[in-house]
Amino acid sequence: MTSQKTNSKTLKIAVVGDVHDQWEEEDGIALKHLGVDLVLFVGDFGNESVQVVRAIASLDIPKAAVMGNHDAWYTATDWGRKKCPYDRTKEDWVQQQLDLLGETQVGYGKLDFPALNLTVVGGRPFSWGGPEWKYTDFYQQWYGVTSFEESTARIVTAAKSAAYQTIIFLGHNGPTGLGDRPEDPCGKDWHPIGGDFGDADLGEAISQTITAGKTIPLVTFGHMHHSLRHTKKEPRKRIFRSPEGIVYLNAASVPRIVEHGSYKQRNFSIVLLEGSVVSQVSLVWVGKDFTVTSEEILYQKPSPVVQPA
């Protein structure tokens, strides 16, 4: 009875784009006013911003998160370690973030949501994106992974262990296969311009999960900001719908909080899920009194074609 009741309900899912230290108590209140059933965080909370992650971890709404490249800013690279603002022999801010999020951090893992009849599967945590395997020492130390192939296997293993038929994939960077123009959801918009900068391991993991018979209505991610570096005449393409009907959403609307005189506006991507089908995706801005001040519809489910009698 529970599954039948859940399947008939339209789920309202909020996707929070790259935070970059822009998270306030009011964001949690705004999510309550929006009446969401689930919140997904695509990472980049800040440069190993433990305090931001602590605030998000305390949010009492069903949630899942994946870590972004900035969340290991002082740990994963030589130049980052040289700039590290804390004593690495006494503290580990990456570990602190992971400890705070606990099971809600789904990178290389999954989280089942029985009340929603779905599972969220995480892509590669701390991803920088692109066609080259980077930061081998970091991934080997933290996850025992040394290649795209091994990374794909970790994601697929998580997907196969999902308790539910319906799977949402959550990544920091999106998968390969969404286009190679700089304006595409994961397109490279810096010099040399052009090329698919998506994660090959996530793309392959999605393909294998489809082959395994799972239903994937939504793949959502961030990292590649909507505001393009090479032009201000248009935003990045934020939605891609595959032939299989999977909706890919780039939620990286940055900055996600803007000030308008004496008040602020904060954005969330809102996904409506009917059964195992995405019916609508919108970008909303919440302003004073936590009311929606604007809503941009990014996607609506195509209407069924009615054959003539």
pLDDT of 232-279, one tens digit each? 999 999 999 999 999 999 999 999 999 988 889 999 999 999 989 999
Band of pLDDT at residue 4, cut at 50, 70 and 90: very low
Q: Residue 7 pLDDT more than 80?
A: no
pLDDT at 256: 97
Band of pLDDT at residue 303, cut at 50, 70 and 90: confident
pLDDT at 5: 41
Mean pLDDT in residue range 11-29: 98
Measured CA to CA, the distance from residue 217 to residue 7 in angstroms comes to 13
Mean pLDDT in residue range 120-134: 97
Mean pLDDT in residue range 179-207: 97
Least confident of 17-31, 274-288, 293-307: 293-307
pLDDT at 8: 64
Q: Which residue has the higher pLDDT, 232 or 45?
A: 45
What value does the mean pLDDT of the chain take? 95
Share of the chain above pLDDT 90, in %: 92
Band of pLDDT at residue 308, cut at 50, 70 and 90: confident
pLDDT at 182: 97
